């Protein structure tokens, strides 16, 4: 188990749908409410605000503008993704965007990247202009782009300067550069093999809610094994910083009648199935009284192995509802896994004596609802 301080974060898919019961009916609602929720989460004491990125669907797909806006609206909370699908990315342009957001945030970016989940469309990356090279699979292409991205944010030369001789044969690196960003890149992994690969490259690990393997043991134990395999590989990577590991859980405390109407009284157990042509195992959903969920999470082997618990939220229920979920988790559930809120400067006082700017979060919570 890691002795890095235990953290909690939220993950939003940013769904929107113009249907009865949805508090998030438009794309504008989804983006503006995400800003409000991040600000509310910071005031509650939550450590991180993460975005799920998915193309070809009515949910968040372009993370960097939204991450920059969250960075400008908050002071302390970590911001990131879980995950960006590298099959769709230009790794050099992405390196520029990531560095810019990290600089705006003051080094708070925790960027999760991966091969990505299977698409709902055919040849999605090809429509964006990306096709695997000869002999490559799409997964190979994603890993190749990841290595290019890591090299770019490390400041390694990419392309030679022009032939005028003014640079004496030197080569140019991507700009801007943000010191420390390389140590805050995470790989979203659904198997022990890809977790091992991420560890060898010195990335942090986001262990998926769906594992593309099923060895007959409970999901939490399988995930804990994946984490231990990752840490073993990471130890050989030569990186100076200590690795971080996050696991995601759907946690829905039931404290009011409206919670029972939405979710019932009991959660859902782990589920075996298939993802593409591969056997898969999905983790359980935690629904019920806060004290019951707290006890269950305290026994969750993977939650105990990880340093960060990421909480997936029902984004279409709006900011106020999700902020109440986070408040309940922070007060009554997260302490059971070893979490304590991180003290920080008051928003009213500002940072390092600077005057507070902008409105208090209560002025904006619920926008678009």
* pLDDT, mean of each 10-residue run, the chain (369 residues): 81 95 96 98 97 96 98 97 97 98 98 90 96 95 98 94 67 95 95 92 90 77 93 89 94 96 74 46 84 96 96 96 98 97 53 36 35
pLDDT of amino acid 246: 97
pTM: 0.88
Q: Which of 92, 93, 112, 12 is nearest to 314 (CA)?
A: 12
Residues 119, 191, 272: CA angle, nearest 5 degrees: 75
Instruction: Check: CB of residue 310 under 8 Å from CB of residue 249.
Output: yes
State how beta strands 285-288 and 210-211 pair: unpaired
Q: b or e along 219-240 (b: 16 or more beta carbons within 10 Å of the residue's beta carbon)?
A: bbebbbbbbebbbebbeeeebe
pLDDT of amino acid 208: 80
pLDDT of amino acid 161: 82
Q: b or e along 52-90 (b: 16 or more beta carbons within 10 Å of the residue's beta carbon)?
A: bbbbeebbbbebbebbbbbbebbbbbbbbbbbbbbbbbe
């Amino acid at each position: 188990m890691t002795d890095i301080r235990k953290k909690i974060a939220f993950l939003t898919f940013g769904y929107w749908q113009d249907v009865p019961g949805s508090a998030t009916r438009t794309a504008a609602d989804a983006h503006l409410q995400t800003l409000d929720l991040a600000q509310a989460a910071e005031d509650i004491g939550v450590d991180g605000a993460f975005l799920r990125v998915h193309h070809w669907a009515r949910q968040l797909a372009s993370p960097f503008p939204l991450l920059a806006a969250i960075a400008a609206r908050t002071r302390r909370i970590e911001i990131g993704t879980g995950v960006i699908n590298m099959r769709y990315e230009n790794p050099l342009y992405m390196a520029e965007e990531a560095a810019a957001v990290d600089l705006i945030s003051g080094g708070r970016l925790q960027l999760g990247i991966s091969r990505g989940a299977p698409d709902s469309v055919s040849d999605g990356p090809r429509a964006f202009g990306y096709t695997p090279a000869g002999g490559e699979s799409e997964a190979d292409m994603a890993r190749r782009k990841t290595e290019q991205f890591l090299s770019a944010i490390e400041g390694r030369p990419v392309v030679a300067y022009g032939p005028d001789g003014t640079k004496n044969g030197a080569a140019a690196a991507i700009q801007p550069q943000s010191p420390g960003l390389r140590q805050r890149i995470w790989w979203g992994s659904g198997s022990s093999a890809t977790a091992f690969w991420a560890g060898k490259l010195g990335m942090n690990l986001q262990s998926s809610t769906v594992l593309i393997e099923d060895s007959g043991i409970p999901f939490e134990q399988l995930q804990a094994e994946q984490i231990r395999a990752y840490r073993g590989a990471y130890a050989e990577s030569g990186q100076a910083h200590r690795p971080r590991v996050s696991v995601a859980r759907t946690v829905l405390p039931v404290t009011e009648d409206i919670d029972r109407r939405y979710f019932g009284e009991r959660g859902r157990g782990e589920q075996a199935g298939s993802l593409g042509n591969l056997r898969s195992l999905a983790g359980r959903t935690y629904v019920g009284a806060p004290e019951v969920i707290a006890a269950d999470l305290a026994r969750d082997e993977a939650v105990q192995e990880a340093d960060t618990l990421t909480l997936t939220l029902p984004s279409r229920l709006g900011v106020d509802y999700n902020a109440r979920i986070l408040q309940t988790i922070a007060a009554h559930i997260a302490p059971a896994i070893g979490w304590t809120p991180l003290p920080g400067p008051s928003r009213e006082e500002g940072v390092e004596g600077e005057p507070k700017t902008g409105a208090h979060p209560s002025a904006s919570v619920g926008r678009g609802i």
